[in-house]
Amino acid sequence: MDFIKKNWEKVLLGVVLVGLLIAVVSLPIKIAGEKADLEAIRLGITERAVSGIDPLDASSTERLLAKIEKPLILDLTTSNRVFNPVPWKRSPSGQLLRVNTGGEIGVGAVTVERIAPLYLIVTFDSVLTSESGSRYAIGVEKQADSSKRGRIKRQSYAAIGDKNENFLLRGIKGPPEAPTAVELELTDTGEAVTVSLEKPYARVDGYMADLAYPPDSRKWLEKRVGEKLPIERELYNIVAITKDEVVLSAPSGKKTSVKLSPGSQEGSPGRGS
C-alpha cells in the first residue's frame, strides 16, 4: 500500500496506458465490425427486390393530343340551317321535295334500273351453189353499233378465202354443197370461231342501260355510250357502261359512277337493239 501511495501517479498512468493499448488493439476489430454492418446495410438497400412500376396511364393525354391533331371543322354549307336555309324543289307532279344534302336532286339522284348486254352475233344461214362453186350466207348483227342502221343484221355471201370488214372465211366442215359449219376468223380480234347452222356465235360487245330520275319521275330506256341525259338543266354524257354501273360525265368534265340498283339484274337486249 505504501508503494501505491508513493507511486499512485505511475500506477494511474500505467492503468491509462493499458486501457489505451486495449483500445488500440480492439480498434481494428471494431472498425471491421462497423464496416461489415455498413456493408450489410448497403446491400440491404441496393440489392433488395424491387417491384415493377405500374404503367403510366396516358390515355387522357392521348385523347387531348388527338383532339389537337384533328382541327375542328365548322360546316356552314350542308348541315348549317341558320345561314343556309333548306331548298325545296317541286316535281312535275306538283309534290315538294326537300333537299337536305344535295343528293336528292342532280346526278346523285339518278338510278340505274337495268343493264343489258349487247352482242356481236354471227350466223351461218344458207348455202348458194352454182357452176362457179359454193358460196355461204353468213349474217352479222352488231347490237353495240353506235348507229341504228349499223345494228341491223347484214348478210353476205362468201367463198372459202374471201375476206370482208367482219370476217375471213377460212374453211368449212362437211361437203361443200351441204356443210354443217363454217370456220371464220373475225377481222376485229383475229379470233377463230366455228359457226354451225344450229348454233350461232355470240360475244358481248357492250351494254345498254335503263335509267331513272325520281325527282322528275323521268325514265330513260335502252341508253348507250355516247347518248346524253338532261338533268337539272345540265346535259350529261354517258361515257361508259359496264355490267354493273353507268358512268356519266358533266359538262365540266366531272365523272359520276352510278351503280346498278340493288335487286336489279342484268337483263337481255330490248327491242330495237
- Which tens digits make up the pLDDT trace of 136-180? 999 999 999 988 899 999 999 999 999 999 999 999 999 999 999
Q: What is the DSSP letter of 198?
A: S
Distances, alpha carbon 243 to alpha carbons 204, 238, 258, 261, 262, in Å:
10, 14, 12, 12, 13
Q: Residue 132 falls within a domain, yes or no? A: yes
Please check the confidence at residue 95 and state whether its pLDDT lies above 90. no
Residue tagged 325514265 (cell numbers): 219
pLDDT score, position 237: 95
- Quote the number of domains for the chain: 1
Please check the confidence at residue 273 and state whether its pLDDT lies above 60. no
Q: Residue 198 falls within a domain, yes or no? A: yes
20 backbone dihedrals φ, ψ, rounded to 5°: -65, -40
Lowest-pLDDT choice from 41-45, 184-188, 238-242, 245-249: 41-45
Q: Residue 83 falls within a domain, yes or no? A: no
Residue 160 to residue 136: CA distance in whole angstroms: 9
pLDDT category at 86 given cuts 50, 70, 90 is low
Q: Residue 91 falls within a domain, yes or no? A: no
- The 10 Å Cβ neighbour count of residue 153 is 13
pLDDT score, position 187: 94
Domain hosting 131: range is 119-204
Specify the higher pLDDT residue, 66 or 163.
163
Q: Residue 185 falls within a domain, yes or no? A: yes
pLDDT category at 238 given cuts 50, 70, 90 is very high
Please check the confidence at residue 59 and state whether its pLDDT lies above 70. yes
**Amino acid making up residue 108:** G
Specify the higher pLDDT residue, 188 or 97.
188
**Beta-strand pair 181-186/167-173:** antiparallel
**Residue 225, C-alpha cell as written in the block:** 355510250
